[in-house]
Amino acid sequence: MAQERINDFVIKFANVNGSGSASANQLFAKAILRMGVPVSPRNIFPSNIQGLPTWYEVRVSGDSYLGARGGVDLMVAMNPQTWDKDLASIDPGGYLFYDSTRPMPPARFRDDVHVIGMPLTEICNREYTDARQRQLFKNIIYVGALSALLEIELAELEKLIGEQFRGKDMLIAPNLHALRLGRDYAARHLDCPISLKVRRASAVGERVFMDGNSAAALGAVYGGATVCAWYPITPSSSMAEAFARHCKKLRVDKEAGLNRYGVVQAEDELASIGIVIGAGWNGARAFTCTSGPGISLMQEFIGLAYFAEIPAVIFDIQRAGPSTGMPTRTQQCDVLACAYASHGDTKHVLLFPEDPKECFDFAAQAFDLADRLQTPVFVMSDLDIGMNERLCDPLAWDDSRRYDRGKVMTHDELESGREFGRYLDVDGDGIPYRTWPGTHPTRGAFFTRGTSRDAYARYTEEGVPYTENMQRLLRKFETAKQYLPKPEFRKAVQPSRIGAIFYGSTSPAMDEALDRLEEKGVRLDTLRIRAFPFHDEVDDFISNHDQLFVVEQNRDGQLRTLLVNECEVDPAKLIPVLHFDGTPITARFIIREIAESLAALNIQPIKKSA
């Protein structure tokens, strides 16, 4: 018997897409969570609806390490197609759980892996006659068996089944039956428990378990978005769908049965952003959600919104590119495409949420920022946080909070004779006043255009007003910093001359890496960047350190490029740590890369071995 591993292991389910495994796997993860033990599950899925392999990986971590870990301790191998690969991915000493209905030659197994066979198909065929039932309940049966093997409390699973099928009560009993069928079989015939165990703890606390796209959609509801225009694209579609779902519950005038929102599934991404810009121009809060290819299609409009100064919120749920890239795999690869989106001289505000909580917070804040700054604001999420459920702090809202609609001149202000120039910088912060269409019968109307104009929105091709306007846009960009979420500084236990910069979904892997590196005596100060344009703190952090690692999930070190460019840093000072194979970055990867670099640089405590 291997050494006991309590609340610290990775289990991976290898399934076939469309076989109904997702809800069973989710049930498994949530039961562990209900036992007070943190989990972080990840769907690894193909661009396919039915038939191709799909995996669901659950990291169980009593220490709350929520990043992907790498390696597998228990493989639930339900897909013959991927058998060899799945078997190979198990860490030595780990477990293989498989359907033993059809005998497998010994050569198909590994000596260094514990094998647990259970005749799942046989049990199902005996129990059920309907083909679909056989398939669906097979999933619940293996969850039942796993609960015995890992000592997951049956009561939690039963409670969850009751919750899941509330309102469809007919389904509760058969699911409970299947669950017990699996559990009883395992208890009777398998060697239970195994060395991997789940033990009740209180490490979850008040935290909630949700995906970033749902959280961002909820943030849009709380932030006052009334118009959503979108075009289906993985991994962002679930955000628009979640917005519609939340709105159905939270945004309906119950008496009249009428909606305080409008969702348009547009014909393409060009129309999506056009609708958002039209709505923003007319004083509604509007957003679109998309991924890299959609950002590419929106370029012309983004430039217009930047130059004509129209609020817009764009959620980019990033996936691996270029072109169609790996549409169901994660990356942070649109940083530059968004920061400098469109033709001409442009720069845009970016926000980098690290988890669903920040997806919610930044989504709501993005609408204030877009209105305040009268410009497009990008929320740079990604597939890893967007489409996976993640444990995070509970969402919070302060009821005294008011929407910041920015500098909008009212009818009364115009009536009182206040001067209005659409592009006039009266406050010196680069932000002019605007009027919404229909405000005043004779004052405040102006013509919005993508062509150059003077401070009063009058068409001109003169060089001076053009350059003055472009300079003002830079002043406005500078002003933006004061409204943006500041970077998060984490100081090493002892003063350090080396540091690391990271952002977005890299957080959990980075936190874990820092703990492990600290154990090895490696001291790293870190800065988590949460917004672009960069605050002065970023410049300070860079100048206060001799060497900095920039950890990101793309090939070209896009944030590093942005830092070099915007903070005018010597590139030699910034060492890229780049993970871009489409899987989420892991602590193991970060530790290895940083340790190797430090050894190469001959920095204490890790020195070159020879």
Partner 1 sequence: MTYIAKPKLQHPDLPKNKLGYTHRDYEGAISTLCAGCGHDSISAAIMQACFELDLPPHRIAKISGIGCSSKTPTYFLGNSHGFNSVHGRMPSVLTGANLANRDLIYIGVSGDGDSASIGLGQFAHILRRGVNMVYIVENNGVYGLTKGQFSATADPGSKDKRGNASHDDSIDMVALALQLGASYVARGFSGDKDQLVPLIKGAILHRGASFLDIISPCVAFNNHSGSTKSYDFVREHNDAVNRLDVILPRDPITAELKAGEVEDIKQHDGSVLRLRKLDEDYDPHDRIHAMHYLERHKAAGEIVTGLLYVDREPEDLHARLRTVESAMNTLGEKELCPGAKALEAINAGLR
Complex with partner 1: residue 322 or 441, whichever CB lies closer: 441
Whether the bond between 174 and the residue before it is cis, its omega within 30 degrees of 0, is: no
Q: 3-state SS string over 363-384?
A: HHHHHHHHHHHCCEEEEEEEHH
Query: Least distance (Å) from partner 1 to the CB of residue 254?
Result: 12
Query: Least distance (Å) from partner 1 to the CB of residue 150?
Result: 21
Query: Least distance (Å) from partner 1 to the CB of residue 125?
Result: 37
Complex with partner 1: residue 340 or 447, whichever CB lies closer: 447
Among the candidate windows 38-46, 62-70, 325-333, 448-456, which touches partner 1 by CB under 8 A? 448-456
Residues 6+ away with beta carbon under 8 Å from 89: 12, 71, 72, 75
DSSP H or E segment with residue 186: helix 172-189
Q: Are 21 and 13 in contact (CB under 8 A)?
A: yes
> What's the Cα-to-Cα distance from 35 to each of 68, 76, 178, rounded to whole Å?
21, 21, 21
> What's the Cα-to-Cα distance from 381 to each of 156, 245, 384, 504, rounded to whole Å?
32, 20, 8, 7
Within residues 76-95, the interface with partner 1 by CB under 8 A covers none
Is the Cα dihedral 496, 497, 503, 507 positive or negative? negative
Query: Least distance (Å) from partner 1 to the CB of residue 220?
Result: 10
Query: Least distance (Å) from partner 1 to the CB of residue 349?
Result: 20
Complex with partner 1: residue 142 or 433, whichever CB lies closer: 433
Complex with partner 1: residue 1 or 396, whichever CB lies closer: 396
- By the 10 Å C-beta count (0-12 exposed, 13-18 middle, 19+ buried), 52 is classed as middle
Within residues 158-217, the interface with partner 1 by CB under 8 A covers 204, 207-210
DSSP symbol at 320 = B
Is the Cα dihedral 170, 173, 175, 177 positive or negative? negative
Q: With contacts defined by CB under 8 A, how many residues of the chain interact with partner 1?
A: 74
Within residues 33-62, the interface with partner 1 by CB under 8 A covers 33
Complex with partner 1: residue 261 or 502, whichever CB lies closer: 261
Residues 6+ away with beta carbon under 8 Å from 132: none
Complex with partner 1: residue 439 or 554, whichever CB lies closer: 439
Longest dimension (CA), the chain: 89
Complex with partner 1: residue 213 or 506, whichever CB lies closer: 213
Q: Are 444 and 432 in contact (CB under 8 A)?
A: no
Q: Are 524 and 476 in contact (CB under 8 A)?
A: no
Among the candidate windows 21-29, 377-385, 399-407, 514-522, which touches partner 1 by CB under 8 A? 399-407
Within residues 259-298, the interface with partner 1 by CB under 8 A covers 259-264, 266-268, 270-284, 286
Contact call for residue 447 and partner 1 (CB under 8 A): yes
DSSP H or E segment with residue 59: strand 53-61
Query: Least distance (Å) from partner 1 to the CB of residue 329?
Result: 26
Among the candidate windows 1-9, 330-338, 397-405, 494-502, which touches partner 1 by CB under 8 A? 397-405
Complex with partner 1: residue 227 or 531, whichever CB lies closer: 227
Within residues 470-489, the interface with partner 1 by CB under 8 A covers none
Within residues 239-258, the interface with partner 1 by CB under 8 A covers 250-251, 253, 256-258
Complex with partner 1: residue 347 or 434, whichever CB lies closer: 434
Query: Least distance (Å) from partner 1 to the CB of residue 131?
Result: 34
Complex with partner 1: residue 222 or 532, whichever CB lies closer: 222
Contact call for residue 403 and partner 1 (CB under 8 A): yes
Within residues 7-26, the interface with partner 1 by CB under 8 A covers none
Among 60, 149, 216, 304, which residue sits at the site for partner 1 (rule: CB under 8 A)?
Answer: 304
Complex with partner 1: residue 211 or 425, whichever CB lies closer: 211
Complex with partner 1: residue 109 or 446, whichever CB lies closer: 446
Query: Least distance (Å) from partner 1 to the CB of residue 359?
Result: 13
Measured CA to CA, the distance from residue 44 to residue 328 in angstroms comes to 8
Query: Least distance (Å) from partner 1 to the CB of residue 446?
Result: 7
Q: 10 Å Cβ neighbour count for 134?
A: 17
Query: Least distance (Å) from partner 1 to the CB of residue 456?
Result: 9
Query: Any idea which residue has 């079989």 for tokens?
Result: 185
Where residue 437 falls (left for φ over 0; alpha for ψ -120 to 50; beta otherwise) is beta
- Range list of β-strands (E), 542-609: 547-552, 574-578
Q: 10 Å Cβ neighbour count for 336?
A: 16
Measured CA to CA, the distance from residue 527 to residue 502 in angstroms comes to 7
Query: Least distance (Å) from partner 1 to the CB of residue 263?
Result: 7
For the CA atoms of 299, 275, 280, 334, the dihedral, rounded to the nearest 10 degrees, stands at: -30
Query: Least distance (Å) from partner 1 to the CB of residue 419?
Result: 15
Within residues 115-154, the interface with partner 1 by CB under 8 A covers none
The distance of Cα 125 from the centroid of its chain, to the nearest Å, equals: 40
Among 74, 148, 149, 218, which residue sits at the site for partner 1 (rule: CB under 8 A)?
Answer: 218
Query: Least distance (Å) from partner 1 to the CB of residue 300?
Result: 6
Measured CA to CA, the distance from residue 124 to residue 122 in angstroms comes to 5
- Range list of β-strands (E), 294-409: 312-318, 349-351, 376-382, 389-392
Measured CA to CA, the distance from residue 87 to residue 492 in angstroms comes to 39
Within residues 415-444, the interface with partner 1 by CB under 8 A covers 435-442
Query: Least distance (Å) from partner 1 to the CB of residue 46?
Result: 28
Contact call for residue 344 and partner 1 (CB under 8 A): no
Among 141, 146, 229, 578, which residue sits at the site for partner 1 (rule: CB under 8 A)?
Answer: 229
* Phi/psi at 573 (5° precision): -75, -20
Complex with partner 1: residue 447 or 489, whichever CB lies closer: 447
Query: Least distance (Å) from partner 1 to the CB of residue 387?
Result: 16
Interaction pattern, residues 544-563, with partner 1; x per rule: CB under 8 A: --------------------
